[in-house]
Amino acid sequence: MNLLFIGDMVGKGGRKAVRELVPGLRTEHKCSFCIANGENIAAGAGMTAKCIAEFCPVPVDVVTSGDHVWDQKGFDGEIPGLKNVLRPANFSRKQPGRGFGIFSNPLCGEIAVINLIGTVFMKNGIGCPFETAETILEKIPRTVKCIIVDFHAEATSEKAAMARFLDGKVTAVIGTHTHVQTADAKILPGGTAFISDVGMTGSDNSILGREIPAVLRKFTTGLPTKLTVVDDGIRLDAALISYNSDSGKAETIRPLSINAGF
């Protein structure tokens, strides 16, 4: 079985790329399931139900998030009604939404998706992602063989540690957050696919999806600067994962980076 994981979508350009490219990618690579990180889809900061409706549940089955999930005012009231949208599971239990779910479709059966956030160089007030992962795995029925983890974290060391910690227990640990696709995609000894960061679905003519002059001004002057999202020159970064449907073990992982043509 094959599934597709789409890197952090940025703004309307990222949303458009997913709408226009993912159906063809799913057909070309025979992908029965698609996960996308969407925490930057609303003008580059946060999420809204309206933005999510543009591509979920078709062509994306599940949308994950990260530290910017609450950036848009009112999304905390929308997320309880969005059954295919996850927020980091190791956030406070008092926050709305859920951090994992078991999803299914006729092509692939049941797939568990877990959304976690790192603690190194990230916001305070976050629970231990390792303990949270263990707790969640105990709740997932053994009949669910495919388990995908979106680990939204800054430090590559923390991401690699999570992958080794979960090796043999999940199908894949996919890193998100840095918007830079890494060159370390591999299958670990226990059969877990791993990449430190899957990358970004956003403008290639930018600095992590934002206008270049604005980012340079912020770095060179230290002054408050509006970092406007760039919505042209879009590329789509993703990871294609093949796994054994009987064991849940990953067989291959292949990074993709595609010019959207707009």
- The set of catalytic residues is 68
Q: 16 to each of 8, 11, 107, 127, 171, how far by Cα in Å?
A: 13, 9, 25, 34, 29
| Distance from C-alpha of 70 to C-alpha of 84, rounded to nearest angstrom | 17
In this structure, what DSSP letter does residue 228 have?
P
Candidates 88, 92, 111; CA nearest to 39 is: 88
In this structure, what DSSP letter does residue 256 have?
E
The shares of helix, strand and coil residues in the chain, as percent rounded to the nearest 5, are 25, 30, 45
Q: Which amino acid is at 67?
A: D
Assess contact for 247 and 191: CB atoms under 8 A: yes
| Tokens 């990358």 sit on residue | 199
Assess contact for 227 and 211: CB atoms under 8 A: yes
Assess contact for 237 and 208: CB atoms under 8 A: no
∠ CA 232-57-244 to the nearest 5 degrees? Answer: 100
Candidates 14, 8, 55; CA nearest to 152 is: 8
